[in-house]
Chain A
Amino acid sequence: MFCRCRPLALFLIAAALVGCGTQSASLVSQPLQPGPQEPVAYLVGSIGPQSLAASPAPNQRLLFRKRGSAFGAAGVWLGIARGTPQDVQDKDGAASVFVLPLKPGDYEFYDFQFFSSSYSPTLGTTYTSLQAREKFNLPLRLQAGKAYYLGEFRSLCLGASLCAFRWRDQLGRDESIARQSVPGLPSLQLLPLDYRSAAPYIIAPLPGGAGQNPLQEKRP
């Protein structure tokens, strides 16, 4: 009797433990996933809240799409029960490193999402999703066999409806974390994007270092 039940018991334990694990920070829709023998281009970055206390949304995403198509990919940070791996742990924030394996071609970084749900006995469950009203367009041309680094995107929120990402270059730190999840990853190259067109949503220092730490420039 016990022998017959054992596979079932093992299956139930495994199923229960799967629920406790983490899920991937990289999300690629099926038509954009390269096959086993096909060329791959990698898009790498990190996403997470600057401060866990000041960022109310437990589900944050950076959204990419294949140019002109309905298919996309996302870098995800999840802070609730089955969250994404908290690869970076700061004083009061956390971030996950995503590695998106994509078919080479033209892509666009076009939007983000802050998603949260809250429960109250009178209203039931309320879902809140915050996205750009007017999408931006940051073109990405991905070549086969290369790995591109987007940067670190740390979210900051003022209340529930005013959220933005702060961009920083953390290539050295994120490359070693990304290499742990994808061992054969080519060396990362920084993808310089002009974030001015995504201005209210992504805050980045001006390209070329203009306006970056003006106090330091004055020092002898």
Chain B
Amino acid sequence: MNRLMTLSALALLAGCATTNTLPERELPDGKAYLTPIHVMVDDPLNAAQMRNQLRETGVFRSVEAGMGKPGDYSVLIRSNVQRDMPPFPLLLLSAATLFLMPLSVSIDTTTEFSLQQDGKALKQYRYRNVTHKYSWLLDGMGGMQEQNGSRIARAFAQDVQRDGVLPEETAQ
């Protein structure tokens, strides 16, 4: 009986954990910064947040907004975000059980990064991350959206660093 209760408690708690389809990337410490990039995002509401997520990776010397001067490297970001909410009858059922019944919420993001210099495309990167979580109705998204975007930004930063498309910053 005890074992059954422990197992069911574990199963319930495990269901509350947030899952991502894109694995977490480890970024190496102590490497030289990559040259500054100018980042333009097609979603003006989340542009600042996306630039901040690229800054958090610690890979680029600086991440600026806008076009930049001739010769500068720029990154165009196109992002498609889909939030899946449970069907309305389930929301009602959750409310009827005083929000005890957890609901499945997910964010499905596909982001395309186009690395350019003087209007010439250097390389394209494309990532998809589905973040999923069981949460209570009034719990909200929590940190799901940040985690969803942060994984994509880290994956892009690591791939750019590995490919050597951008030169390293020499002057500290």
Contacts and interface: CB of A to CB of B under 8 A. Distances in A.
A141 B172 contact: yes
A134 B49 CA distance: 8
B112 to A, nearest CB: 22
A137 B172 CA distance: 12
B30 interface: yes
A68 B27 CA distance: 7
Interface of B: 27, 29-30, 33, 48, 51-52, 55-59, 61-63, 65, 172
A83 interface: no
Contacts of B56: 65, 68, 135
23 contacts: A65-B56, A67-B29, A67-B58, A68-B27, A68-B29, A68-B57, A68-B58, A68-B59, A105-B29, A105-B30, A106-B29, A106-B58, A108-B58, A110-B55, A134-B51, A134-B52, A134-B65, A135-B52, A135-B56, A137-B62, A137-B63, A139-B33, A139-B61
Looking at chain B's contact residues, is the secondary structure mostly helix, strand, loop, or mixed? Answer: loop
A197 interface: yes
Interface in A135-182: 135, 137, 139, 141
Given A135-B55, A141-B172, A197 B62 contact: yes
A219 interface: no
Contacts of B33: 139
Given A67-B58, A68-B29, 17 more contacts: A65-B56, A68-B27, A105-B29, A105-B30, A106-B29, A110-B55, A133-B48, A134-B51, A134-B52, A134-B65, A135-B55, A135-B56, A137-B55, A137-B61, A137-B62, A139-B33, A197-B62
